[in-house]
Structure 1
Amino acid sequence: MISFTPSFTQAWWLLSIAIFFEICGTVCMRLSDGFSRFTPSVLIFVFYAFSFALNTFVVRVLGLSIVYAVWSGVGTVITAAIGIWYFKEPVTALKLASIGLVVIGVLGLHASSNAAS
C-alpha cells in the first residue's frame, strides 16, 4: 500500500490536478456521445480514476468536506464554462446565478473550515 501523506501545499496542488482530471472526465462524457465513441468513453474512467486516486491522498490533509466541496464546486463551474464556451450551450440568467451560488457555497465551506481550525 502507498503511505504518502502530502504537505498542506502539496495537498492543494494535488487537489488542483484532481480537479483538472475530473473536468477532463466530465468533458469526455459529452464527447463519448452516449458511449458510442470508444476513446472518450474509455477516457472517462481513466480521468476519474486519477482524480479519485489523488483525492484519496488529499483528504488525509485537507479533510473530506473541503476537498469534496472544492473538487465538485470548481469542477462544476469550469465544466459549465466549457459547456457554454466550447459546446455552445445556452447562457441564461438562471444558469449564471446558479453558478454564482455554487461559488458562494464553496467559499462558505472553505471559510467555515478555516474558522474551525
Structure 2
Amino acid sequence: MGYGLLAAAIAAEVAGTTAMKYSEGFTRLWPSLITVLGYLLAFSLLAQTLKTLSMGTAYAIWAGIGTAAVAAIGVLFMGESGGVAKVVGIALIIAGVVVLNAGGAH
C-alpha cells in the first residue's frame, strides 16, 4: 500500500510541476489551479506514505523519480535539450534511488 501511495504522490507532483510550466508565472488560471492541486495532493499522499515507509526511503524515491520524470517530460514533450549529460544525470538519479531502496535505507 505504501508504494502505491508513493507512486500516486509522484504522479501528482509531476502533474503539478508540468502544469506550472503552462501557468506562465501563475498568470493563467487553470494551469495554476492544477499546479496547486497537484502539490496539495502530492504532499497529502506523501504524508500518508510516511505512515508505512521510512522517511529517508520515501522522500528519496519521491524526489528522485519525480525529478527524473520531469526532466524526461521536458526533453520528450517540451523541446528541451536532451544531451548526453542530461541522460547520464537522470540515470544516476534513478540508480541512486535503486541503491538506497535496495539496502541503504532499511
Q: TM-score range by the shorter chain?
A: over 0.9
Partner of 2:19: 28
- When normalised by structure 2's length, the TM-score is 0.93
Partner of 1:51: 42
Partner of 2:69: 78
Q: Does 1:65 align with 2:81?
A: no
Higher Cα Rg, which structure: 1
User: 1:94 pairs with 70, 85, 101, which one?
Assistant: 85
3-state secondary structure, aligned to 1:34? coil
- Uncovered stretches (5+) of structure 1, i.e. residues with no partner: 1-9
How far apart are residue 86 of structure 1 and its match?
Answer: 0.8
Q: 2: distance between equivalents of 1:94 and 1:11?
A: 33
- When normalised by structure 1's length, the TM-score is 0.85
How far apart are residue 50 of structure 1 and its match?
Answer: 0.6
Q: 1: distance between equivalents of 2:99 and 2:84?
A: 22
Q: Aligned Cα RMSD in Å?
A: 1.0
How far apart are residue 109 of structure 1 and its match?
Answer: 1.2
